[in-house]
Amino acid sequence: MSLLATAAALGRAAWAGMDPEGLFRRHAADRAPFTVLFPGLGEVLFFTTMDGARDILTAPSALCRAPLPNPIEPVVGKNSLILLSGEAHRRARSVLAPPFRGELMRDYVDLIAESTEREIAAVRPGDHLLVGRTAQSITLDVVIRVVFGVTDDARRREFSSVTTQLLRSGGAALMLVPWLRRDIAGRGPWARLVAFRTQLDDLLSEQIEERRHSGYRGGDVLALILDATDDEGNGLTDEMLRDQLRTMLAAGHETSSTSLAWALHHIHRDDRVRTRVLDELATVDTPAEMAALPYLAAVIQETLRLHPTVPIVLRRLTGPLTVAGVACATGDVVGIALPALHVNPDLWTDPNTFDPERFLNARPSPFQYAPFGGGYRRCIGAAFALGELSVAIGTMMKRLDLVPVQRGRPPRAVPRGIATKPSREIALEVIARR
């Protein structure tokens, strides 16, 4: 790479750290790939076309690995399903995926509605609902109850407090720049992150041991995983189990809360969309029915198109691979820039317009639309996340009449922890309770 090209790639890395959607959308109409030089990871060749996405997502697992070092490793751990590759990934996925099958959502929807009701119970007319903060509380409570089966209020608060502190300690600089991860006499950002991660691991170990020794098996995800084995009859070790649970607690909560905030933002910026969501909600009474509403599902899908919370899909090649006509070598890191793919004008009509109806009558190709990744590495929690968002949005809008506090320039998506989030808090005014 020439000096000029290197400088440009480094500049894109800095831009990605401040405004990833802005960077990638700038390349939406480009048919040629572009390079970003990430500290610690090196050059990443990004593709924005359907051909590029197809070649990356359908590449054999023997040719691709999760790229390391990875920005999210300090939070989720080296054994996280997100970071495993090859046979280790296949075996872990076979144990972890079954509890998140779409048909099991019916066992969880009531808990999701209860968590939402609990969070908005004290809200009164005239209050300003801080959507991001509210969404974080709801989705964190959902994970603690649904994944771990924690019903004791004191234990839930303990999990919530430690998880929140861990995620806040993982700032963008610490996540993106590996050489900042240093303990300076027990002080500094890295020391704080490690301390909170250790506290969370202690809580996880206690929960695992209690469930194993009590013999209690509820319908939560932890119970299902404790009883699950791979095709050789092996379960997860305690270390692997902690990393997977930390991944679900951190990644699942962070991404869902961001999507919930963006969805409520878009719904209440467009009176037509808001009215149609309310009309559809008026036809149902139960959380299970909310989870099956087609227009609400389309609103969520459109939200994820414009704001994929994890904006990049990365693979490190273990052998040569041609991607969209570009010959890539062993060791190269290739990626899909989702914010660019999702607004590529060759693939979408009026790509920058929020229009849920585009998802009502057509199903986009998995190589055109991939908010949960794709192929053998597609997010195992995708069906759960979509159902969770429908129930949370539906419950809030059935209970609260909300309007925007201001309709000014929309916030940007900026890196926060392991996902992107709105650059400022989104506030909605409560007009009435229903």
> Is 379 among the annotated ligand-binding positions?
yes
Q: Which residues contact 52 (CB under 8 A, 6 or more apart)?
A: 33, 323, 324, 336
Comparing 311 with 70, which gets the higher pLDDT?
311
Distance from C-alpha of 37 to C-alpha of 230, rounded to nearest angstrom:
38
Over residues 140-151, the mean pLDDT reads: 91
- 312 pLDDT above the threshold of 90: yes
Predicted pLDDT at 220: 86
The length of the chain in residues reads: 434
Which of 150, 253, 251, 248 has the alpha carbon at shortest distance from 203?
A: 150
Over residues 123-138, the mean pLDDT reads: 96
Question: In the chain, pLDDT over 90 holds for what percent of residues?
Answer: 64
Tens-digit pLDDT profile for residues 103-115: 777 789 999 999 9
Tens-digit pLDDT profile for residues 51-75: 999 999 999 999 999 998 777 888 8
Which of 95, 251, 217, 235 has the alpha carbon at shortest distance from 149?
A: 217
- 300 pLDDT above the threshold of 70: yes
Q: How confident is the model at residue 176 (pLDDT cuts 50, 70, 90)?
A: low
Question: Could you tell me the CA-to-CA distances from 151 to 22, 99, 143, 155, 221 in Å, in that order?
Answer: 41, 19, 12, 8, 14
Predicted pLDDT at 135: 97
Tens-digit pLDDT profile for residues 384-424: 999 999 999 999 999 999 999 976 778 888 887 678 899 89
Please name the helix (run of DSSP H) or strand (run of DSSP E) that holds residue 152, with its range, or none.
none
Predicted pLDDT at 177: 59
Predicted pLDDT at 92: 94
Tens-digit pLDDT profile for residues 332-369: 999 999 999 999 999 999 999 999 999 998 899 999 99
Q: How confident is the model at residue 249 (pLDDT cuts 50, 70, 90)?
A: confident
Computed over every residue of the chain, the mean pLDDT equals: 89
Tens-digit pLDDT profile for residues 9-68: 555 655 555 677 888 898 888 888 999 888 778 899 999 999 999 999 999 999 999 998
- 158 pLDDT above the threshold of 60: yes
Distance from C-alpha of 282 to C-alpha of 100, rounded to nearest angstrom:
28
Please name the helix (run of DSSP H) or strand (run of DSSP E) that holds residue 34, with its range, or none.
strand 34-38
Domains along the chain?
3-433 (1.10.630.10)
Predicted pLDDT at 361: 85
Q: How confident is the model at residue 122 (pLDDT cuts 50, 70, 90)?
A: very high
- 248 pLDDT above the threshold of 70: yes
Predicted pLDDT at 408: 72
Distance from C-alpha of 277 to C-alpha of 293, rounded to nearest angstrom:
9
Predicted pLDDT at 194: 87
Predicted pLDDT at 174: 57
Alpha carbon 89 to its chain's center:
19
User: Peptide bond preceding 98: is omega within 30 degrees of 0, i.e. cis?
Assistant: no
- Global pTM value: 0.92
Look at the block and give the residue holding tokens 């964190």: 140
- 200 pLDDT above the threshold of 70: yes
Question: Could you tell me the CA-to-CA distances from 281 to 35, 141, 287 in Å, in that order?
Answer: 45, 23, 10
Predicted pLDDT at 106: 79
